[in-house]
A and B are shown apart, each in its own frame.
Chain A
Amino acid sequence: MKNLLTRIIPVVLMLLGAASYSFAAGKLNIITTQTIFADLVKQIGKDKVNVQAIASPKYNIHFIQPKPSDVRKVVKADLYVNAGLDLEAWSDPLLEAAGKQKLFRNGEGNVDLSQGIRLLNVPDHPISRAEGDIHAFGNPHFQMDPENARIMAHTILEKLKEADPANTSYYEDNAKAFFTKLDRKITEWKNICAQCKGKEVISYHEDIAYFADFLGLRAEQFLEPKPGIPPTPKHMQFLEDYAKAHHITAIATPTYYPQDAAQSLAGKIRGKVITICQGVGEAPGTDDFFSFFDYNLKQMSEGVK
């Protein structure tokens, strides 16, 4: 027994003696899953929030492997902003590892940005993984439609006001400025890519559906024969024939997918590969929400010429 106590006590003391310190006092600590969400929070929260994203935009959001340092960030967070649905499968294990109940799904600190979003590609039939890595609740890449930023920003605003009511007017003023700028930029973006309407592009994955919807583009064929399945020779031949028949010249892909299949197809159809980023900071010049869409619009506009 004495041996047991001499072994247990030092460990228990270590637990009890764990010091605690926090980020800058008075600011809300907010963790987001994606960088675009982090920027939306920053647009509204500005100086009153510390915000960090877990997933680097350089990696595929489906396959992020949270690190112990990410767990520590979540432990300290007041709010956890995420895409909801079933895109970020690593999110629940991360939250459980942090053990902070108020950030769990449906918790008061969990901000689900899919709320209020009109989802595209919602399955209308029973699904199975025979269809690939299909998303059961609809296409979760809704951040790609700038119109959805109105809804997401509103959700963030309401949550910030709830968590920090003393700064309500500050958040509302910032939100108003954001919405004013968003209205102006949406008009500008639609003009930049006015010629996109009615055109068709091929994308690597089904992740530009909302972007295409915003521009009136069609994006119905993908390098992946099924979601999550890499391109196959047979499917590449089909895409080549399809692209030629439909006069498609642009292959859209984010930076983190292998580029060889897209480059090969572009060469065969005398088209070009365009980078359509999925996250803020993914490519140079995409440092915030507005420059992210400036970049994507420019890429798409030049791609479908």
Chain B
Amino acid sequence: MRRFFIFIIVFYDLCCFNPHLLWAGPSLEEEMKAMKEQFAAMQAKMSVYEKRIADLEDQLAKRSAQTTPPVAAASNRLIPAKWTPEIGVVADTVLKLTSSKKDVEGNNRLSLRELELVFGSNVDPFSRLDTTISFSDSESPSLEEAYLTRFGLPLNTTARIGKFKPKVGKVLGTHRDSLDTVDEPLVIQRYFGSEGMNKAGVDFTKILDFPLPVTQQVVFGVIQGGNGDGGTAFGTTGKAPTIYGHLKNYKDLSDTMGLEVGTSYMAGSKDENPNFDSQIWAIDATLTKHLNANQDIKLQGEVFNLDRKKTVNADGNLWGAYGLLDFHFKPQWSAGFRYDYVQLVDNPVTNPHEVDYGETGYLTFYQSEFARWRAQYTHTTLATGKNDNTVYLQGTFAIGDHKHKLQ
């Protein structure tokens, strides 16, 4: 009985004060089992998270590995899909009305005087190829220029090799579509050819870096001998080469005005013997003044002294020159005047200094950056005693890429 009462008392105590000893809930085993289940569930979740993290890391790695940014660099934008060179076309149409009775190229007719097809592109990191093929109403297609420019030669020199316009003076190295007038100055036409001259050869250009407040550039070249069409300075044979040099001196006189003065030397031959018996010294000067953002004035002139070995029927010392004033008076308009003087080559002994003179006035309208119209009147007093009056109406148009080289 006593044991029964003790049991009741103990049981009562446990129920009231330590119920957990009697009713402990799940057993240890069950807890362990529950904990194991929870652990397994957490492990499963962790596996999912780990996979997700791995996927995200993989995506991040792929994005970082991209070499092309979302907005491609401009230089990348300009790379053509298939290495297409820069291609441009320049068309030069001329209506020429003249008092001359000669039935020569372009006289008294509208003609496509020249269509230039221009290609250019970098060959590799060191060089660039430029070509100009010329078509015309009155001539067969011709290769006007095709030359490689090699950069980064020793002494910071740049070379050209191929067929090109020699860098002599100002106008001789200029493409027709860049001229201020419809035609070349008389001295260029008479001495070098009606369109100047393009010859095969090689030349080297260097910007000199003396501690002077003047920018200087020197050019030295060797080209095939002879002249352009109708030129007379040198002989007709191409056997004897012509060498030339040019020193350009430029100074900024102010923020708005610059002066360029150049000296040139050419030596060629009158015949196939390379005796350099025909030499030319030349001086060129160009003054440019910007009056404001939309108006500028250019004053330009060149003098050529031609020293040909004197023979019974030859001349000795001759000279020719031109002076040009160009006024860009409105954004789309310019006007100008040119005076020409040239002593002719191989004059008869009886009249050793026969001269052609010319006076030219012109008005240019720039329809846009790529189309230009020009009206020009030229009066030429010829050595033959006759005068020639010519009116030109010129349209020049460009499509595609056509970046002019700096003159």
Binding site for B on A (CB under 8 A): 3-4, 7-8, 11-12, 14-16, 18-21, 56, 58-60, 62-63, 66-69, 71-72, 75-76, 83-86, 89-90, 92-94, 96-101, 104-106, 110, 112, 114-119, 129, 132-133, 137, 228-230, 255-258
Q: Is the CB of A16 within 8 A of B155?
A: yes
Q: List chain B residues, Cβ under 8 A from A66.
A: 406
Q: Is the CB of A229 within 8 A of B210?
A: no
From known contacts A75-B209, A258-B331, infer whether A11 and B245 are also in contact, taking CB-CB under 8 Å.
yes
Complex interface residues of chain B between 211 and 225 (CB less than 8 A to chain A): 211, 215, 217-218, 220
Q: Name the prevailing secondary structure of the A interface residues.
A: loop
B30 at the interface (CB under 8 A from A): no
For the complex formed, measure the closest distance between the CB of A71 and the CB atoms of chain B, giving whole angstroms. Answer: 6
Measured in the bound complex, the distance between the Cα atoms of B205 and A98 in whole Å is: 10
Q: List chain B residues, Cβ under 8 A from A132.
A: 368
B258 at the interface (CB under 8 A from A): yes
Measured in the bound complex, the distance between the Cα atoms of B245 and A12 in whole Å is: 10
* B219 to chain A: closest residue by CB: A11
For the complex formed, measure the closest distance between the CB of B88 and the CB atoms of chain A, giving whole angstroms. Answer: 12
Q: List chain B residues, Cβ under 8 A from A58.
A: 293
Q: Is the CB of B220 within 8 A of A15?
A: yes
B208 at the interface (CB under 8 A from A): yes
* A119 to chain B: closest residue by CB: B71
B27 at the interface (CB under 8 A from A): no
Q: Among B77, B157, B369, point to the contact of A137 (Cβ < 8 A).
A: B77
* Interface size of B in residues (CB-CB distance below 8 Å): 57
Q: List 8 A-B contacts (CB under 8 A).
A: A7-B243, A14-B218, A21-B210, A68-B248, A96-B151, A101-B126, A133-B368, A257-B293
Q: List chain A residues, Cβ under 8 A from B122.
A: 104
Q: Is the CB of A19 within 8 A of B74?
A: no
Q: A7-B276, A99-B207, A101-B125 are in contact. List 13 more A-B contacts (CB 8 A).
A: A16-B155, A60-B293, A69-B215, A84-B73, A89-B403, A93-B404, A106-B75, A112-B75, A115-B73, A129-B368, A228-B368, A228-B369, A230-B332
Q: List chain A residues, Cβ under 8 A from B155.
A: 15-16, 18
A21, A86, A115, A229: residue with the most chain B Cβ atoms closer than 10 Å: A115
Q: List chain A residues, Cβ under 8 A from B217.
A: 68, 71
Q: Among A19, A60, A97, A117, point to the contact of B71 (Cβ < 8 A).
A: A117
Q: List chain A residues, Cβ under 8 A from B293.
A: 58-60, 255-257
Measured in the bound complex, the distance between the Cα atoms of B61 and A58 in whole Å is: 48
* B276 to chain A: closest residue by CB: A3
A7, A83, A255, A256: residue with the most chain B Cβ atoms closer than 10 Å: A7
From known contacts A19-B209, A59-B293, A229-B368, infer whether A97 and B405 are also in contact, taking CB-CB under 8 Å.
yes
Binding site for A on B (CB under 8 A): 69, 71, 73-75, 77-78, 122, 125-126, 128, 149, 151-152, 155-158, 204-211, 215, 217-218, 220, 243, 245, 248, 250-252, 255, 258, 260, 265, 267, 274-276, 290, 293-294, 331-332, 368-370, 399, 403-406
Q: Among A3, A76, A129, A137, point to the contact of B78 (Cβ < 8 A).
A: A137
Q: List chain A residues, Cβ under 8 A from B151.
A: 96, 99-101
Q: List chain B residues, Cβ under 8 A from A115.
A: 69, 71, 73-75
Q: List chain B residues, Cβ under 8 A from A255.
A: 293
Q: Is the CB of B204 within 8 A of A69?
A: no
Q: Is the CB of A18 within 8 A of B206?
A: yes
Measured in the bound complex, the distance between the Cα atoms of B207 and A94 in whole Å is: 13
For the complex formed, measure the closest distance between the CB of B295 and the CB atoms of chain A, giving whole angstroms. Answer: 10
A59, A133, A255: residue with the most chain B Cβ atoms closer than 10 Å: A59
Q: Among A56, A75, A97, point to the contact of B406 (Cβ < 8 A).
A: A97
Measured in the bound complex, the distance between the Cα atoms of B156 and A98 in whole Å is: 9
For the complex formed, measure the closest distance between the CB of B66 and the CB atoms of chain A, giving whole angstroms. Answer: 14
Q: List chain A residues, Cβ under 8 A from B209.
A: 18-21, 72, 75-76
Measured in the bound complex, the distance between the Cα atoms of B294 and A59 in whole Å is: 8
Q: List chain B residues, Cβ under 8 A from A15.
A: 155, 157, 204, 206, 218, 220
Q: Identify the 5 closest CB pairs spanning chains A and B, nearest first.
A: A84-B74, A256-B293, A68-B250, A114-B74, A99-B158
B126, B267, B368: residue with the most chain A Cβ atoms closer than 10 Å: B368
Measured in the bound complex, the distance between the Cα atoms of B69 and A119 in whole Å is: 14
For the complex formed, measure the closest distance between the CB of A116 and the CB atoms of chain B, giving whole angstroms. Answer: 6
Q: List chain B residues, Cβ under 8 A from A4.
A: 243, 274, 276
For the complex formed, measure the closest distance between the CB of A273 and the CB atoms of chain B, giving whole angstroms. Answer: 15
For the complex formed, measure the closest distance between the CB of A285 and the CB atoms of chain B, giving whole angstroms. Answer: 18
B73, B77, B128, B370: residue with the most chain A Cβ atoms closer than 10 Å: B77
Q: Is the CB of B220 within 8 A of A18?
A: no
Measured in the bound complex, the distance between the Cα atoms of B73 and A110 in whole Å is: 12
Q: List chain A residues, Cβ under 8 A from B276.
A: 3-4, 7
From known contacts A16-B155, A18-B209, A21-B209, infer whether A68 and B260 are also in contact, taking CB-CB under 8 Å.
yes
